[in-house]
Amino acid sequence: MATLTVKNVRIIDPVSRRYETATLTVPVEGADKTVDGEGLMAFPAFVDVHVHLRDPGFTEKETLDTGAAAALHGGYGHILAMANTKPVMTGGAIADFYARAKALPLHAYTVSALTKDLKGEVLVDMEEAARLGAVGFSDDGFPVDNMDLLKEGLLRAKALDLPVSLHEEDPAYVKNPGVDSRFAPAFGLKGAEAMAEYSLSARDLSLAHYLGAKLDIQHISCALTARLVAAFAESGAKVLGEITPHHLTMTGEDVKTYGTLAKMNPPLRTAMDASDLAKFIGHENFCIATDHAPHTAEEKNRPLKNAPSGITGLETAFVLLYTELVLKEKCTLEDLIAAMTKIPADFYKLPHKGVAGGEFVLFDPEGETAVDEAFFRGKSHNSPLIGKTFKGKIKGICVKGKYHAFE
């Protein structure tokens, strides 16, 4: 093995609790390489526990290979794929996923669907899914309406010591998905009410806490939902709250500017929600998750009511949050790094080696990242950030024994 040496780099590593300026030396493939780390920072490779890789079944949007390329470009070394593939991620599909993921340049994991075909009617063989490598269970995109079914699923997941990850939107309060009901009338729609999220979250947090099961509340959009997660965590619940970059930095007003590129499930909310959500970065029960959702240009060019929800996020998440949160003093850099590394990795029991173990991102805080069509390594470019420039630049990432430099 060759050696990668990064001289005089500032290390911020919550995984190994290492915070210092030092010379970093790790084994890598290929030839020896030395990088001048003066003015650079080294963080643990980022972890995203909510990614749509679309493979198998929807490879016109993304593939395992293009999704991995996008993740690396954004500084991610560990990604967790959702189950809404075709076929749905259960049984043999899980085995096939891991057989293919071995060749990827990063660590890729998958959840299993919680219910067969994501229909919320019959639980999958959860024990088989765990044996095949699923690190959790989720019907993401669809709430679980049947409380008795969810109770059984949580109990079986608890016995496996794996989390259940839930999309919390009560259909009774969603007339048109993707746009908040307070902003929807401008587009001739009724939209989705905020209550859809926090009412169902309260139910499921109560159930999981009562059972002692691990629960991941996905892509939180409402400040009240975050406060519920924090309250249950304080009471001893085994809970993780995901917060996305777009819910932290955009609001329902942005639908007027970006149209379908600002259509999300759950929707973008108010400026107060976005501001209050940032206050939970630094809380040990909250992480950053991108909900990376690639779609084709044809799909996103449909009318707002008919277009699919979601945007890409892997390649822009860190520079966006560094610019909009850290530099504007809405959270500390150390807290943001923990929310993108140690906190999600610990909750899902992902084996992160940290900076000293050779899994790290090199970041130039004085650089700039210009986002245009040519910037993306992923297959789909459905992002409202095209045309924007952000402070800071990811210079490279080391993962699985190889260093990838970005110029």
Q: Reply yes or no on whether 291 is catalytic.
A: yes
Query: Is the N-terminal amide bond of 44 cis, ω within 30° of 0?
Result: no
Q: Are 373 and 386 in contact (CB under 8 A)?
A: yes
The verdict on whether omega for the bond into residue 87 sits within 30 degrees of 0, i.e. cis, is yes
Q: What backbone torsions phi and psi does residue 74 show, to the nearest 5 degrees?
A: -90, 0
Q: What is the DSSP-derived secondary structure letter of residue 75?
A: T
CA 126 to chain centre: 23
* Strand partners of residue 142: none
Among the options 170, 273, 291, 335, which is catalytic? 291
What is the distance, to the nearest Å, from the Cα of residue 378 to the centroid of all Cα atoms in its chain?
15
β-strand partners of 397: 361, 404
Give CA–CA dist 377/30, Å, rounded: 23
Question: Which residue, 299, 326, 328, is CA-closest to 312?
Answer: 299
Are residues 198 and 222 in contact, defined by beta-carbon separation less than 8 angstroms? Answer: yes
Q: Over the range 2-17, which residues count as b (16 or more CB within 10 Å of their CB) and which as e?
A: eebbbeebbbbbbbee
CA max distance for the chain: 61
CB count in 10 Å sphere of residue 97: 23
Q: How is residue 323 annotated by DSSP?
A: I
Helix (H) / strand (E) containing 389: strand 389-399
Instruction: Please state, in angstroms and rounded to a whole number, the distance separating the CA atoms of residues 78 and 147.
Output: 32
Contacts 24+ apart (CB under 8 A), 252-257: 252/179, 252/180, 252/182, 252/183, 253/183, 254/384, 255/179, 255/183, 255/186, 255/187, 255/304, 256/183, 256/186, 257/384
| Token duo for residue 303 | 């009318």
Q: Active-site residues: which are they?
A: 291
